[in-house]
């Protein structure tokens, strides 16, 4: 039984389900929803979140690594799963045998998929990925005609089924950025090239969470939503979770490991980057960068303790940090809320992102393996199913 007193992440699966429903409600043109559950469901726990997303009607699940996709199958998930981060020599055959859709961005990957299909004795379902401007993964436009033609030839032989054509946006979280329209246009062109090659993909997909929320024209047949499923905003420019009826699923809470009175002028934590301004009360929070609390939160991270927001005093250490309660009282064993939906006045993931110069994605995803995830809300699902 993991120790849940020191620090734990409570995960509200009812929120995951309600977010998936809210997101489905925003889809246009009959598009389906893929809940992206890579990176342990953005730190929220792969399997419980995958089950919650399915229960709320996610027709697809999205994984980065094959291990993530195979873990879904090992746990009994039988729905459509796309896995997109491949290397030569990866477990292509296992994926094909497990009926996982695989992404292909280059001729070497197509060759791997074809070989895996032959070994497995069944066609590989592939999604051809084009780089429409992100400049990261995906087939460059110059090679796209060649890749689509080769995929069509492999399809004609029965080695692959081209189930999808897809791409990824670079700046959907910056509404109005001109790169968005340029990528939309490049994607339309890439689809036309694929069609001329004779491909008739079941799903064309381009949109992530911010595009789902703000760019209906990008929805096509399928939308890959990650961060919004967990009730976190893609960016302040897109809006707050509440703007879209989304509820944050993760609450990070700690138990105070100590409270002490200290004199003024006393240095606090490594490097003495904070000095007590006068006689004061310091509280010790047993959470550190080994738990995914960014060291960048030193002097900036917000925490609700004894009814008020406090700021990390001095340096975040590996396992602990300090907050200054001033004249307020608390005792060892009291609760500290680092972030959550805000119901009790606690900071949100977005507040942590702002305070540490990063994005909400990184705050939740980096919560470490040492922090137990305690899932709630499955009971409601059973009740919903029974009613
Ligand atoms: C290829 C791809 N599609 C979709 C997503 C989901 O993005 P978001 O979490 O912004 O919805 C990601 C996540 O980074 C991704 O890498």
Structure tokens at 59: 């027709």
Q: How far apart are CA 91 and CA 104, in angstroms?
A: 14
Structure tokens at 135: 């400049």
Q: Which of 64, 208, 233, 349 is the pocket-test mutation for ligand 1 (most atoms within 8 Å of CB)?
A: 208
Same-domain status, 216 and 117? yes
Q: Which of 44, 62, 137, 246 is the pocket-test mutation for ligand 1 (most atoms within 8 Å of CB)?
A: 62
Measured in angstroms, how far is the CA atom of residue 371 from the centroid of ligand 1?
A: 24
CATH number of the domain bearing residue 138: 3.20.20.10
Same-domain status, 181 and 228? yes
CATH number of the domain bearing residue 350: 2.40.37.10
Ligand 1 atom with the smallest distance to the CA of 64 is 16
- Single pTM value for the model: 0.97
Q: What is the pLDDT of residue 386?
A: 52
**Which amino acids are annotated as binding site for substrate, given as ranges?**
136, 318
Ligand 1 atom with the smallest distance to the CA of 173 is 10
Q: What is the pLDDT of residue 53?
A: 98
Same-domain status, 228 and 254? no
Contact 90, 68 (CB under 8 A): no
Contact 37, 61 (CB under 8 A): yes
Q: Which of 135, 226, 246 is the pocket-test mutation for ligand 1 (most atoms within 8 Å of CB)?
A: 226
Q: How do the pLDDT tens digits run along the chain, 387 residues long?
A: 678 899 999 999 999 999 999 999 999 999 999 999 999 999 999 999 999 999 999 999 999 999 999 999 999 999 999 999 999 999 999 999 999 999 999 999 999 999 999 999 999 999 999 999 999 999 999 999 999 999 999 999 999 999 999 999 999 999 999 999 999 999 999 999 999 999 999 999 999 999 999 999 999 999 999 999 999 999 999 999 999 999 999 999 999 999 999 999 999 999 999 999 999 999 999 999 999 999 999 999 999 999 999 999 999 999 999 999 999 999 999 999 999 999 999 999 999 999 999 999 999 999 999 999 999 998 666 655 555
Atom 6 (ligand 1): residue with closest C-alpha? Answer: 226
Count of C-beta atoms within a 10 Å radius of residue 169: 23
Residues 6+ apart with CB under 8 A from 343: none
Same-domain status, 215 and 255? no
Same-domain status, 220 and 359? no
Count of alpha carbons within 13 angstroms of residue 311, beta-carbon side: 11
Ligand 1 atom with the smallest distance to the CA of 38 is 13
Q: Is the CB of 17 under 6 A from ligand 1?
A: no
**Which of 174, 198, 232 represents a domain boundary (last residue)?**
232
Count of domains in the chain?
Answer: 2
**How far is the CA of 215 from the CAs of 169, 212, 218, 223, in angstroms?**
11, 6, 6, 11
Q: Is the CB of 234 under 6 A from ligand 1?
A: yes
Atom 8 (ligand 1): residue with closest C-alpha? Answer: 226
**Which of 232, 263, 285 represents a domain boundary (last residue)?**
232
Q: What is the pLDDT of residue 292?
A: 98
Measured in angstroms, how far is the CA atom of residue 369 from the centroid of ligand 1?
A: 22
Whether 38 is a known active-site residue: answer yes
Q: What is the pLDDT of residue 384?
A: 58
Same-domain status, 261 and 226? no
Instruction: Give me the domain span that covers residue 215.
Output: 13-232
Measured in angstroms, how far is the CA atom of residue 247 from the centroid of ligand 1?
A: 19
**Which of 183, 198, 232 represents a domain boundary (last residue)?**
232
**Contacts of the segment 185-190: beta carbons below 8 A, 24+ positions apart:** 186/130, 186/132, 186/133, 186/141, 187/130, 187/132, 189/141, 190/130, 190/132, 190/141, 190/144, 190/165
Q: What is the pLDDT of residue 378?
A: 83
Q: Is the CB of 168 under 6 A from ligand 1?
A: yes
Q: What is the pLDDT of residue 382?
A: 61
Q: Is the CB of 209 under 6 A from ligand 1?
A: yes
């Amino acid at each position: 039984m993991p120790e849940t007193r020191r620090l734990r992440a409570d995960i509200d699966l009812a929120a995951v389900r309600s977010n998936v429903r809210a997101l489905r409600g925003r889809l246009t043109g009959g598009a389906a929803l893929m809940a992206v559950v890579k990176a342990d469901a953005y730190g929220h726990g792969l399997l419980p979140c995958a089950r919650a997303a399915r229960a709320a009607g996610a027709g697809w699940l999205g994984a980065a690594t094959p291990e993530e996709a195979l873990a879904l199958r090992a746990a009994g998930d039988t729905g459509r799963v796309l896995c997109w981060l491949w290397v030569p020599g990866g477990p292509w055959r296992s994926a094909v045998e497990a009926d996982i859709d695989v992404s292909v961005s280059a001729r070497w990957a197509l060759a791997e998929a074809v070989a895996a299909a032959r070994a497995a004795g069944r066609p590989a379902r592939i999604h051809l990925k084009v780089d429409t401007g992100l400049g990261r993964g995906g087939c460059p436009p110059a090679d796209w005609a060649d890749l689509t033609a080769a995929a069509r030839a492999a399809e004609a032989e029965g080695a692959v089924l081209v189930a999808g054509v897809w791409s990824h946006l670079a700046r959907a979280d910056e509404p109005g950025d001109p790169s968005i329209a340029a990528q939309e246009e490049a994607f339309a062109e890439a689809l036309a090239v694929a069609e001329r090659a004779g491909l008739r993909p079941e799903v064309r997909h381009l949109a992530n969470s911010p595009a789902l929320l703000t760019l209906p024209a990008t929805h096509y047949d399928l939308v890959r939503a990650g961060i919004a499923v967990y009730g976190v905003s893609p960016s302040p420019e897109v809006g707050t979770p509440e703007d879209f009826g989304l509820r944050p699923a993760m609450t990070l809470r700690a138990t105070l490991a100590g409270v002490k009175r200290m004199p003024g002028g006393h240095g606090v934590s490594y490097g003495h980057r904070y000095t007590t301004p006068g006689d004061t009360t310091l509280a010790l929070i047993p959470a550190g960068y080994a738990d995914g609390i960014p060291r960048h939160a030193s002097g900036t991270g917000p925490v609700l303790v004894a009814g008020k927001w406090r700021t990390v005093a001095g340096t975040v250490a590996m396992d602990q940090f300090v907050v200054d309660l001033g004249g307020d009282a608390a005792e060892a064993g009291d609760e500290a809320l680092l972030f959550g939906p805000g119901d009790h006045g606690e900071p949100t993931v977005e507040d942590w992102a702002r305070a540490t110069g990063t994005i909400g994605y990184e705050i939740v995803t980096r919560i470490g393996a040492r922090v137990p995830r305690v899932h709630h809300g499955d009971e409601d699902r059973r009740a919903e199913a029974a009613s």
